[in-house]
Amino acid sequence: METIELPLLLEAMVQRYGYDFRDYAPASLKRRVHLAMQREQGVHTISAYQDRVLHDPETMARFLDVVSVDVTAMFRDPAFYKALRDKVVPAWRELPLLRVWHAGCATGEEVYSMAIMLHEEELLDKARLYATDINQRLLEQGKGRIFAIKKMKDYTNNYQKAGGKSVFSDYYTARHDDVILRAFLGKNIVWAEHNLVSDSSFNEFHMVLCRNVMIYFNRKLQDRVHRLIYDSLPVGGVLGLGHGESLQLTPYENCYEVVDRAVKLFRKIR
């Protein structure tokens, strides 16, 4: 049944709302659809769910929240930031202006991590950090600079392992169960809704980070996004992927050299 119903649901979403999940990786997508259905009262079949999605934009918005696996963390994979600082940042000193694109940034933890690092390297003032995601609600949350205080222990740990040069708690003020990051960290961030499935490249960047976003896509869609990223980088531009991701078997494998294989940092060479 599911093999008939699921494609119909996805088709309905494209037709009605323009959101195209047809080339998302099936294993994860199926789980997300079932999870989204469980959260709706009285929906027992995908067809019933489709009916509700079609007639109620709020249901679609809730689906978007479930399908965006928005798990993220500041200085996630500290080794990634360490390598970035040691192997990539030095070349940025000469630039008059630095543009970095965080594609699929969820609530922006990765973007603020970058801002902190650039601040410590005295590069933040000349930087523009483009923070994009398919889900506007996540971007709004990120813009607010408010994060749960209970996560700060892990983040502090990550920050130190990532080669942080200062004291992590200097970057936020605690209030009740939350912390608010200092305002200067947000002032060079441009937040914008951008769908990697259907939108095109919008600038050229010195670096693109697209970490743990393409794991939710099938190979065909991954290739499309790699094209988009390739088109957004000049020769010498840097690409950062998630720890479990790879350029291997993509059509662009040969267009990059490895900056650091273990943390998935690459540089465009042709």
Partner 1 sequence: MKYGLVVIGASLGGLNSLRGVLSALPGTFRLPVAIVQHRSSDADDTLQFLLQKECARLVREVEDKEAIIPGKIYLAPGGYHLMVEEDHFALSTEAAVNHAQPSIDLLFKTAAEHFGPRVIGVVLTGTGTDGALGLAEIEHGGGVALIESRQTAFAQEMPAAAIEATRHAIELKLEEIGPYLVKLDREQEAG
Residue 106: name its binding partner from partner 1, ligand SAM, none (Cβ under 5 to 8 Å by kind). ligand SAM
Q: Is 110 among the residues that bind partner 1 (CB under 8 A)? A: no
- Which contacts (CB < 8 Å, 24+ apart) does range 36-39 have? 36/62, 36/63, 36/66, 36/67, 39/66
Residue 243: name its binding partner from ligand SAM, partner 1, none (Cβ under 5 to 8 Å by kind). partner 1
Q: Is 23 among the residues that bind ligand SAM (CB under 6 A)? A: no
Q: Is 88 among the residues that bind partner 1 (CB under 8 A)? A: no
- Residue selected from 51, 70, 121, 260 as contacting ligand SAM according to rule CB under 6 A: 70
Among 20-28, 132-140, 142-150, 162-170, which window interacts with partner 1 (CB under 8 A)?
20-28
Tell me if 56 sits within 8 A of 139, measured CB to CB. Answer: no
In the region spanning residues 113 to 152, those forming contacts with ligand SAM, defined by CB under 6 A, are 133-135, 138
Exposed, middle or buried: residue 121 (CB in 10 Å: 0-12, 13-18, 19+)?
Answer: middle
Residue 135: name its binding partner from ligand SAM, partner 1, none (Cβ under 5 to 8 Å by kind). ligand SAM
Q: Is 68 among the residues that bind ligand SAM (CB under 6 A)? A: yes
Tell me if 186 sits within 8 A of 142, measured CB to CB. Answer: no
- Residue selected from 25, 69, 123, 146 as contacting ligand SAM according to rule CB under 6 A: 69
| Calculated CA dihedral for residues 3, 6, 11, 12, nearest 10 degrees | 140
Residue 214: name its binding partner from partner 1, ligand SAM, none (Cβ under 5 to 8 Å by kind). partner 1
> How many amino acids of this chain bind ligand SAM (CB under 6 A)?
22
- Residue selected from 46, 98, 105, 229 as contacting ligand SAM according to rule CB under 6 A: 105
Q: Is 248 among the residues that bind partner 1 (CB under 8 A)? A: yes
d(CA 267, CA 91) in angstroms, rounded, equals: 12
Place of tokens 């502090």: 156
Q: Which residues bind partner 1 (CB under 8 A)?
A: 25-28, 31, 69, 71, 76-77, 79-80, 212, 214-216, 218-219, 222, 242-246, 248-249, 262-263
